[in-house]
Chain A
């Protein structure tokens, strides 16, 4: 188990950090993931893919935490929220171009962000991503395509924005 999982820890930390953004929260998550993996090692399918398996655990834990955080985030009364919103209003420039691709990534919807990260950065195959996220392959492809296009538009500004898919390209299964 150590031999199979140990080499994946750097990638797990990277994925966790990209999702959570806060380094210590991300490492908490990885620790949680490793503890789960240790306790469930014997229940995993012996012929299964260890990489997809552990990313599944990490992803599910991350989503739980993010949802809990989002849930907590809503407990702000209307009076408190007022105009002192925690994030500063976006400037014209921000709307046109994000200097930081990680910020642009953080602005993607959660489902697209996961697919873009797992495919582009972690180098998982499309089938592995489908297994990790427990979604059909076609959904992986459409989220990847939408996520990449949105990210590209965010990075390159509205000027180059084109309808997704171009003129005559259609996604076929």
Chain B
């Protein structure tokens, strides 16, 4: 018989019964001839069984109420309904503000302004466009030059689409978004796990130069900053410590190109 030499990986797979039947037999035959190795492998098998036995009771415990998945899903759904109502209120407030402005009335101002408003708009755009499977972007990445030209024309400024591929996020494309402060452009990215990030950029009326601020809207984290009158907000459902360096990389690229 001319079989392959037995490797350490074979021994581990033997312990886990992950070998095919023929190889399992070969490893067993090898162990018969090598009692020292066999003793070591027996130790691993005992260890595996002991770990399983010691930890098994945890998996058999009744699941605590707070880990009830149906309840968690339900709670999120309700919070999203509330969030939608808040969003509707913001829109109404925006309309009211617009109407008030048009008659130069003295209506109360919207709750968030400047950089905070941009962060909120980015989170709202994320919530609307990122889950969209049909048409998350208007112009796809292949038409990047056309998108950049269009964005630069509408924002009256050369626009840079940051390349986040070194962080594992690939450019999907972009779209034009309406905001109370005028046109904004949304750029969308995704990684191999299907996680999407959204960057929103537009002119700033106030907060025209600000350092980076962190925000959280539900499970969506955002980093927002402004430079020379243009605001940028990068948002996504990832931990702040993950998103922060990506936002820094985007800012560096934009600064280099202004």
- A82 to chain B: which residues have CB within 8 Å? none
What does the 1/0 interface line of A39-63 toward B look like (CB < 8 Å)? Answer: 1101111001000010010001000
Note all chain B residues with C-beta closer than 8 A to A13. Answer: 58-59, 61, 63, 67
B48 close to A (CB within 8 Å): yes
Against A, the Cβ 8 Å flags (1 = close, 0 = not) of B193-222 are: 111100000000000000000000011000
- What's the minimum C-beta distance from A21 to chain B, rounded to whole angstroms? 11
Chain B positions 45 through 64: 1 when the CB is less than 8 Å from some CB of chain A, otherwise 0: 00110111011101111011
> Does A2 count as interface, using CB distance less than 8 angstroms?
yes
Taken residue by residue from 5 to 36, chain A's Cβ proximity to chain B (1 for < 8 Å, 0 otherwise) reads as 11001110110011000000001001100111
How many residues in A have their beta carbons less than 8 Å from beta carbons of B?
56
Residue A102 CB within 8 A of the other chain: yes
Closest residue on chain A to residue B241 by CB atoms: A64
Contact present for B67 and A34 (CB under 8 Å): yes
Q: Is B8 in contact with chain A by the CB < 8 A criterion?
A: yes
Minimum CB–CB distance for A60 against chain B, Å = 8
> Chain A binding site: helix, strand, loop or mixed by DSSP?
helix
**Which of B6, B15, B66 meets A27, CB within 8 Å?**
B66
Flag whether A156 is at the interface (Cβ < 8 A). Answer: yes
Instruction: Please name the residue on chain B nearest to A13 by beta carbon.
Output: B58
B162 adjacent to chain A (CB < 8 Å): no
Closest to A39 in B: B219
Query: What's the minimum C-beta distance from A138 to chain B, rounded to whole angstroms?
Result: 9
Total A-B pairs, Cβ < 8 A: 136
Residues of B with C-beta under 8 A to A136:
none
Q: Is the CB of B63 within 8 A of A165?
A: no
Query: Cβ of A30 and Cβ of B67 under 8 Å apart?
Result: yes
Cα separation A125 to B8 with both chains bound (whole Å):
17
- Report yes or no: A2 in contact with B12, Cβ–Cβ below 8 A: no
Q: Which residues of B contact A64 (CB under 8 A)?
A: 239, 241
Q: Is B73 an interface residue (CB 8 A)?
A: yes
- With a cutoff of 8 Å between Cβ atoms, the chain B residues found around residue A39 in the complex are 76, 218-219, 237
Question: A139 → chain B, closest Cβ, in Å?
Answer: 12
- Interface residue ranges, A against B (CB under 8 Å): 1-2, 5-6, 9-11, 13-14, 17-18, 27, 30-31, 34-36, 38-40, 42-45, 48, 53, 56, 60, 64, 101-102, 105, 116-117, 119-121, 125-126, 141, 144-145, 148-149, 151-152, 155-156, 160, 162, 165-166, 169-172
